[in-house]
Amino acid sequence: MNKNFNIYPVKGINPVFGKNCMMTPSATLVGDVLCGDDCSFWFNAVVRGDVNSIRMGDRCNIQDNAVIHCTYQDSKTIIGNDVSIAHNAVVHGCKIADKVLIGMGAIVMDHAEIGEGAIIAAGAVVLAGTKVPAGTIYAGAPAKEVKKVGENMQDVFLRTSNNYVKYARWFDESWMVS
């Protein structure tokens, strides 16, 4: 692995990157992490596949200070395509479908399932085992449905994930890990 990155194996398993992935020098990826193409890992983000596996699709952005983890022998973390995990969010041992936005400071706990096109509002706490239906907005602590994602918001998912692919290209080529 490149010495300029905080990429570490656990039990001989290294993170695996798709094509065109970017990682800032302060982000950390550990162990059994598999990500798709055009993913980005921003300042101080931590993705820890040390006790179980983490799988993420294409065009995911893990923003500043976000933490993705899982639970030993219990819950993996699975993240779909075009998912944005905002600043200071915690995603732990859950399943997130395609085109989801996890807001700043939100927490998504073990065995929660976030449906396609859902938005988890900033500061929301999605309790363990919660099933968030597709196309809904959940907010609060504990998080509850507050409304449906309106047609005027349908493009927010792709716009955000595509913007982060663009932002990653603004940085030095040496930050590309694949």
- DSSP per residue, 3-26: TTSEEE-BTTB--B--TT-EE-TT
Could you tell me which residues are beta bridge partners of residue 125?
107
**CB of 116 closer than 8 Å to CB of 135:** yes
> Which regions of the chain are under pLDDT 50?
1-2
The full set of domains in the chain, from first to last, is 6-169 (2.160.10.10)
Torsion of CA 121, 15, 43, 69, to 10 degrees: 40
> Taking Cα atoms as reference points, which of 99, 98, 146 lies closest to residue 122?
146
pLDDT at 115: 98
- Give percent of the chain above pLDDT 90: 85
**Residues 6+ away with beta carbon under 8 Å from 173:** none
Measure CA of the first residue to CA of the last residue in the chain; give whole Å.
11
pLDDT at 86: 98
Greatest Cα pair distance, the chain, in angstroms, is 46
Per-residue pLDDT reduced to its tens digit, 123-133: 999 999 999 99
Indicate the pTM of the whole model: 0.94
pLDDT at 155: 82
HEC profile for 116-152? CCCEECCCCEECCCCEECCCEEEECCCCEEEEECCHH
pLDDT at 1: 41
Per-residue pLDDT reduced to its tens digit, 85-116: 999 999 999 999 999 999 999 999 999 999 99
pLDDT at 55: 98
pLDDT at 2: 44
pLDDT at 172: 76
Determine the 3-state secondary structure of 27 from DSSP.
coil
